[in-house]
Amino acid sequence: MGFLTLEHISHQYFTTSSYTKAIEDINLTIDEGEFVSFLGPSGCGKSTILSIVSGLITPTEGNVFVNGSPISKQSTSIGYMLQQDYLFPWKTIQQNVLLGPYIQRNVTQEIKEKAIHILEDMGLGNVVTAYPTQLSGGMRQRAALARTLITDPHIFLLDEPFSALDYQTKLKLENLVANTLKKYNKTSLLVTHDIGEAIAMSDRIYLLSANPGKIAATFQVPNHLKSLDPFDARQDADFNDLFQEIWKELNALEHNS
Amino acid sequence: MNTTPKQDQQRFENHLKHLKKEKRHVWAWQFVIFVVFFAIWELSSQLQWIDPLLFSSPSSIADLLFQKATDGSIFLHLRVTLLETIAGFILGTFIGIFLAAILWWSPRFSKIIDPYLVILNAMPKVALGPIIIVALGPGYVSIIAMGAIISVIITTIVVYSAFQDVDENYLKVLNSFGATRYQCFKEAVLPASFSTIISTFKVNVGLSWVGVIVGEFLVSQKGLGYLIIYGFQVFDFTLVLSSLMLIALCAAIMYQAVDRLERKLIKNSK
């Protein structure tokens, strides 16, 4: 029994004129501390899976278990990182990072010091009192990571968190996020459409087919790639082999549909 | 080609000088228009090109205002109207925002109430005047109610649509921390709609003046609206025009105050 289990998850979206099946019969098990990615064409319900794991939407069928008990019945803390940082522009960086504890009425001196500590770790120690508009895109996304880390979530959900950044910033942040999550031993789910990013960051990759979203293939990332930083992993020979393999599989999926 | 810092500084100073000059030009023209308008008015009134009985003249308006200022009576009227307008403005705006919050809170209530809001919004609120006066009595309460009711529905509609336009993802972030609906409202929806709320302030300043003046037309013994209708009845258009001048001045000052407030608040929230 893994840490996070998805059992026969299906989800439909309804409109007034019709309904669409976003995902169908998703089964998977993720161990604690594992980093998995979901790859697939747009419209394959990648983000829907994250929303279901987070508990923001209830699947029309199936169950999500964390440590063997259904997710709706417990208060597993979930960290969510979105495509954009969604820092609140009217709050300072420190207030943004303390948003979770503030909402949970849990702002102590200890938490405040932890916030400063995390921000310093992210190289944001000198912009604590700045407002988000004064920061670059990469800095903002780092602040968003700090905001997610501070509540010490059990599960980390990453919904294309690097897609709005320029390439160089994206590579740097991949390293930072992967190392940080490894350091804190977080279970993480990444949604992306970038094959390279999926290989460089994760332990396992699920390839989804579209309409409805189903698991089409699973790839295990070789152990020595896992141990490398994402940036170094991109330079490895095995990286290219796996890239080609996934590339072919993705193309095949497109032809079949 | 390299430029020395000194040349750059020189260019910057030239740029500033240019801006200053432009500003002076604008002011000069504004002043000229002001003077020319009143000069032509005065002159045409003196030379009987326009009927001085109907259009009065700047000098007789100034005389009247000076006379009423020395015996203090104008300040009484001014104070009454100002207080009514400010009260109407504050009531109308805040009740409007409060109603918008209720609509946001309950999407079902908002759907149910929607056609009634449309009707209330389409109705000319001034037409409610007689009913309000009968219901609340012929006093300042009715006039304040007129000043408020004229802006409350449009405020509700505009602010509610701003509440709805708030990016869902902010709420997603808050919900992932387990925020309650009240926390979502306080932390995301309300601050994100701040600029819309401030811009309704600006509109409502003007609307409250309309409501209060019409209210004073209908019923009152004091106030600038009363002076206008009284001057009309006794055919004293100098009185009508001097009240009008005062209203224009006060409304402009209030508008400027709200504008200042807006700039200050927006600067803090960005």
Mean pLDDT of chain B: 90
Report the gap between the CA of B190 and the closest CA in chain A (Å).
Answer: 11
Co-location of B163 and B132 in the same domain: yes
User: How does residue A67 score in pLDDT terms, banded at 50, 70 and 90?
Assistant: confident
Domains of chain A: residue spans and CATH? 32-49+76-256 (3.40.50.300)
B64 domain-assigned: no
As a whole number, mean pLDDT of residues B138-158 equals 92
Co-location of B25 and B78 in the same domain: no
Give residue B221's pLDDT. Answer: 83
- Give which of B164, A143, A201 is closest to A135, Cα–Cα: A143
What whole-number distance in Å separates Cα of residue B174 and Cα of residue B28? 53
Give residue A161's pLDDT. Answer: 86
Report the gap between the CA of B177 and the closest CA in chain A (Å).
Answer: 5
Q: Please say if the pLDDT value at position A170 is more than 60.
A: yes
User: How does residue A73 score in pLDDT terms, banded at 50, 70 and 90?
Assistant: low
Q: Which two tokens stand for residue A25?
A: 């019969």
Facing residue for B183 by CB, picked from A75, A86, A103: A103
Co-location of B200 and B117 in the same domain: yes
Q: Note whether B179 contacts A56, CB cutoff 8 Å.
A: no
As a whole number, mean pLDDT of residues A81-104 equals 89
Report the gap between the CA of A215 and the closest CA in chain B (Å).
Answer: 26
Domain that holds residue B160: 71-269
Spell out the residues 6+ positions from residue B158 whose beta carbon is closer than 8 angstroms to its own: B196, B200
Give residue B161's pLDDT. Answer: 94
- What residue type is assigned to position B19 of the chain? L
Q: Please say if the pLDDT value at position B219 is more than 90.
A: no
Give residue B2's pLDDT. Answer: 61
B167 domain-assigned: yes
As a whole number, mean pLDDT of residues A221-249 equals 86
Which residues are registered as beta bridge partners of A207?
A39, A217
As a whole number, mean pLDDT of residues B21-39 equals 95
What whole-number distance in Å separates Cα of residue B64 and Cα of residue A98? 62
What whole-number distance in Å separates Cα of residue B52 and Cα of residue B48? 7
Q: What is the pLDDT of residues B165-215, one digit of tens each?
A: 999 889 988 888 888 899 999 999 999 998 899 889 989 998 999 999 999
Which of B166, B167, B173 should we substitute to test contact with A (largest number of A Cβ atoms within 10 Å)? B173
Among A65-74, A129-138, B99-108, top mean pLDDT goes to: B99-108
Co-location of B33 and B144 in the same domain: no
Co-location of B141 and B223 in the same domain: yes
Facing residue for A86 by CB, picked from B170, B183, B194: B170
B55 domain-assigned: no
**CA A74: distance to chain centroid?**
21
Q: Please say if the pLDDT value at position B104 is more than 90.
A: yes
As a whole number, mean pLDDT of residues A125-148 equals 88
Q: Which two tokens stand for residue B201?
A: 């302030």
- What residue type is assigned to position B31 of the chain? F
What whole-number distance in Å separates Cα of residue A241 and Cα of residue A222? 11
As a whole number, mean pLDDT of residues A180-201 equals 87
B59 domain-assigned: no
Which of A56, A75, A86, A149 should we substitute to test contact with B (largest number of B Cβ atoms within 10 Å)? A86
Provide the domain count of chain B: 2
Which residues are registered as beta bridge partners of A11?
A23
- Give which of A107, A109, A174 is closest to A138, Cα–Cα: A174
Q: Which two tokens stand for residue A211?
A: 């309409």
Q: Which two tokens stand for residue B137?
A: 């009595």
Which residues of A fall below an 8 Å CB-CB distance to B? 54, 56, 75, 78-80, 82, 84, 86, 88-90, 99-100, 103-104, 131, 133, 151
Report the gap between the CA of A238 and the closest CA in chain B (Å).
Answer: 37
Integer CA distances (angstroms), B82 to A236, B78, B213, B216, B242, in order: 76, 6, 10, 12, 16
Q: Which two tokens stand for residue B13?
A: 């100073």
What whole-number distance in Å separates Cα of residue A112 and Cα of residue B200? 37
What whole-number distance in Å separates Cα of residue B39 and Cα of residue A212? 78
What whole-number distance in Å separates Cα of residue B229 and Cα of residue B239? 10
What whole-number distance in Å separates Cα of residue A114 and Cα of residue A257? 49
Co-location of B221 and B125 in the same domain: yes
Q: What CATH number is given to the structural domain containing B151?
A: 1.10.3720.10
Facing residue for A90 by CB, picked from B177, B183, B191: B191
Q: Please say if the pLDDT value at position A25 is more than 80.
A: yes
Co-location of B86 and B155 in the same domain: yes
Contact A151, A137 (CB under 8 A): no
Closest chain A residue to B191, measured at CA:
A90
Co-location of B174 and B81 in the same domain: yes
As a whole number, mean pLDDT of residues B151-159 equals 94
Residue A217 φ/ψ, nearest 5 degrees: -160, 155
Rounded-to-10 torsion of CA B253, B254, B256, B257: 120
Q: Identify the DSSP state of A44.
A: S
Q: Please say if the pLDDT value at position A203 is more than 80.
A: yes
B58 domain-assigned: no
Cis peptide before A230 (omega within 30 of 0): no
B187 and chain A in contact, CB less than 8 A: yes
B176 and chain A in contact, CB less than 8 A: yes
Q: What is the pLDDT of residues A214-224, one digit of tens each?
A: 888 888 888 88
B12 domain-assigned: yes
Contact A157, A151 (CB under 8 A): no
Q: What is the pLDDT of residues B74-91, one digit of tens each?
A: 899 999 999 999 999 999
B20 domain-assigned: yes
Co-location of B35 and B138 in the same domain: no
Task: Give the ipTM of the model, two decimals please.
Answer: 0.82
Co-location of B119 and B196 in the same domain: yes
Facing residue for A82 by CB, picked from B172, B175, B269: B172
What whole-number distance in Å separates Cα of residue A214 and Cα of residue A203? 20
Co-location of B127 and B210 in the same domain: yes
B167 and chain A in contact, CB less than 8 A: yes
Higher-confidence position of A255 and B128: B128
Higher-confidence position of B20 and A137: B20
